[in-house]
Structure 1
Amino acid sequence: MVVVLVGLIISLLFSLVNIAAPLSYIQVWYSFLATGLLIYYLSIAGLLAPYQPAPALHFQPSSSTEDAPDSEAAATPSPAVEVLEPSLAGDAAEKAPQCSPASPRHAVLPTDPDLARWAAKLTRHMEAERPYLAPELTLGELASQLRTNTSLLSRVINTCFGQNFNDYINTHRIAEAERKLQDPRYQHYTLLAVALESGFNSKSTFNRVFKKLKAATPSEVAARLNL
């Protein structure tokens, strides 16, 4: 960029001088010489670029307690993928939820420690930041928050939690709605207000998801919780 800028300045100076006092053929020739040298330099620099050492990249973790991703995530094209630190691997694996067919939200295959670490990290993020409260949350946005890619995140949710992305997020929204239905501070809220406060964007979606995941309507669950 510096060389191109210098070349533009030289051409501009020759043009200004030529306007003020017309240059001879020999004098104008030096302008073409400067342009040729610029093109020659850029060509050589382009040919040598693949052989230049790559600059060191330094990634900053989002918090001191978060573990970093596996090598597979680092190899996937992603603008901000963390690097796994061996010192954190043991602690993260210990915090990873265990496999339990009866509890798909906490089902992790112990044979894949990398996925288990990501499952633990995802669980912590969901509990601390509660991104599911955003009605328009997408897989890409959640992956960006975790500083990984959608392929890895989708694999973690499918494998470790036994759900697709929509069901996984809606499970947290339903749990949030149940907490609000039991909270005295929300007793004066309508079911629509509870749905909107829990991350749903409409009452119809709230009812449909509630029926799917709880086999009951929100009003039935609300009556049962408030007995």
Structure 2
Amino acid sequence: MDIIFPIIGGLIALAIPILVVVGIVYFIMRLRNNSSIRFFSYRAALRAYFYVVILISVIIGALSGGSTLLKVGLGEVFGAEFSYGQVYEEDKWRARDRSDRELELLKNDAPPMTEEEINKQYPSLKERLVYKVKESMIFGVSLLLIGIILGLVHLVARRSIETETERVDILRRVYLFAGLLVFAVASIISLTVLFQRLLVICLLEQGQVMNICLLVSHYL
């Protein structure tokens, strides 16, 4: 699930080629209609700005914030290792590091680490999982609220300046197509990651197979 954040960055980066496509399609449609081309009119630029910000706010709120909260929820359903597998891997590395350090201190006749030092440098897996879940909750809720507020403000502003004719023009159609394209790509990648993680758990972590099968059959 940690791969979702680079994906979000890539989706936001898609805004640049999408804007180029929007400009090209708008240019062609205006030529076909024998209309005057005014790319930089204040009204057209303002509407384009509203559409772009609304699309970005949905990406931030739904895809980034929502996916983070979904990650927490899936961890509660399928187990923490499903959503926070990296924490478990880090815990194994920390255990080896602690063992190597204690062995080195023993060889050098140095005093062993105190309980306070151990707790500070090598917190338990449970403590780190609790921290990660809280961090994800704060991060997800913050992005979700930012996306909702930003989107609503620009949605109201856009509706206040648009006429009935403009709400069905080529700019809005391109905006809807761009949004559909972004969400289709995000959905495909997210489902791929989800099923990949489920297969890993089913094939490599046999102890959880029965629980997962029961959960899936319950929701089906």
TM over 0.5: same fold?
no
Q: With structure 1 as the length reference, what TM-score do the two structures score? A: 0.20
**Higher radius of gyration, 1 or 2:** 1
Q: With structure 2 as the length reference, what TM-score do the two structures score? A: 0.21
**Normalized per residue, which structure has more helix?**
2
